[in-house]
Amino acid sequence: MIANCPPEEIDGLICRERDSAAAGGYTLEWKHYGHDAPEDLPERLVAAGFVPADEEEVLVLALDEASLAAFDDAGRHEIKIVRDEGSLADYAEISREIGRRNAEEERLALALQVQAGTDEMSIHIAYADGEPVACGRVYFRDGGTYAELSGGRTKTAHRRQGHFTSLVASRLRESRDRGRTHAFVDALPTSAPILRKLGFQFVTRTRPFVFVSDSHGIDG
């Protein structure tokens, strides 16, 4: 995270981060928030070769009994928390089905975290008749009271069946059980209305800008 970078230094910073990604062969995402300066930062990122993705809404929810009750699905869907590296194949299967081109790169990165035994991330997967159909992650940063929901996705044929909401509920319950007081998420236009209806509050807007090195295709 970078804060208070002087405007005259921002172009150099963008180029250094881009060049590091190109040299390392990895995909780099720069998150631009509505309050970020300078005002023309999005244009500078595009000029440096970053590709803008869909705008998202930053939403937050207080983790009290009333808010969690809105997500109660009475155990209608089967949700499993990933405990071993092998289960990440199910996560990658969902990602590939919806067209994410970096599914294998993402699986390998997540596998490293699972191998490390870190408790800063948890991965939840929803199943229907034994088939992995939806998934999502939740992050627990050290020293904070917030949980961050991320990576929510559902196979096309299984949308509008409640899997998305059940996965949110599962991650919210874990967050509360681990002592977090709030959860936030960067929500796409497809999910933001659902989350707001269930109690999440709007904070600001954000847009990812993605730089892909020559060795990777752009993530869909």
Strand partners, 147: 183
Nearest to 133 by CA among 142, 141, 120, 124: 124
pLDDT at 213 over 90: no
Sign of CA dihedral 157, 159, 161, 163: positive
- Which tokens is 177 given? 């059980």
| H/E run at residue 107 | helix 103-116
* pLDDT single digits (tens) 52-111: 999 999 999 999 999 999 988 767 899 999 988 888 999 999 999 998 878 888 899 899
d(C-alpha 90, C-alpha 110), whole Å: 12
pTM (two decimals):
0.84
pLDDT in tens, 195-207: 999 999 999 999 9
DSSP state of 82: -
Domains of the chain: 57-204 (3.40.630.30)
* The predicted structure's pLDDT at residue 215: 57
Length of the chain: 220
Cα-based distances in Å from 56 to 46, 87, 190, 192: 18, 29, 10, 8
The secondary structure element, H or E, covering residue 23 is helix 7-24
Is residue 149 exposed (0-12), middle (13-18) or buried (19+ Cβ within 10 Å)? buried
Give tens-digit pLDDT for 129-181. Answer: 999 999 999 999 988 899 999 999 999 999 999 999 999 999 999 999 999 99
| Contact assessment for residue 33 and residue 208, using Cβ atoms and an 8 Å cutoff | no
φ and ψ at 115, to 5 degrees?
-60, -35
The Cα 214–Cα 28 span in angstroms is: 12
> What local confidence, expressed as pLDDT, does residue 218 receive?
39
For residue 137, which of 68, 183, 201 has the smallest C-alpha distance?
183
The confidence band for 4, taking pLDDT boundaries of 50, 70 and 90, is low
